[in-house]
Amino acid sequence: RLQAAGGAGTGRGRNDGVVFEKPILPRMTESMDLLAWFNTFERALLLSDVPRSQWGRMLPGCMSEKAAKIYSKLSIEECRDYDCVKAHILSGYRIDASVYLAKFRAARRTGSESYNEYAARLDEMCSYYLQSKAITTFAELKGDMLLEQYVGSLPIEVRSFVIGKRP
């Protein structure tokens, strides 16, 4: 079985004929940054060479109470799809592209953070935003930037109408 953070060390595991190192997985808490938690969870699995098809099965033992409630409402098929589970959890916590963008725009370097660490944190937040918007090309990025600027420059009542229409 996989070990949760704070548990025993790693070992060798076998699942569906695939052998991989058992990662020590982080525990999700209600007070932590959910984006950072998912990033840490994914890195632990990547570094242990766990097949992505197995990731959904490893989530339940690491989830917070709120995330577990969201998970329990999903179908078995949805629970097998890691990306689907992640999207539902983020949605349940009301974390979407606008949250990523706001965090990116509000980010400031802290005194204890090196400039390289700050740059890496900005890059990570930008990647979260691009991933949540499914932006993979420069043309898509340009279109998104233009739309954000255009909508942001509209009067508030017009902006509400335009956002309601989801351009």
Instruction: Give the percent of the chain with pLDDT over 70.
Output: 85
Q: Which range has the worst mean pLDDT, 1-10, 48-57, 76-85, 126-135?
A: 1-10
Per the prediction, the chain carries an average pLDDT of: 84
Q: Which candidate, 53, 50, 34, places its Cα nearest to that of 128?
A: 34
For residue 13, list its beta bridge partners: 20
pLDDT at 160: 86
* Paired tokens of 128: 């979260």
Taking the CA atoms of 79, 83, 86 and 90 in sequence, report the sign of the dihedral they define.
negative
Q: What average pLDDT score do residues 99-116 get?
A: 91
Q: Which candidate, 96, 93, 113, 116, places its Cα nearest to that of 166?
A: 96
The tens digit of pLDDT for each residue in 67-104 reads 999 999 999 999 999 999 998 998 888 888 888 899 89
The tens digit of pLDDT for each residue in 1-19 reads 444 444 333 444 455 555 5
pLDDT at 35: 80
pLDDT at 6: 41
Euclidean distance between CA atoms 134 and 113, whole angstroms: 30
For residue 124, pLDDT over 90 is answered with no
What element of type H or E holds 113?
Answer: none
Instruction: Please measure the distance between the N-terminal and C-terminal CA atoms of the chain and give it in whole angstroms.
Output: 47
Cβ neighbours, 10 Å, residue 140: 13
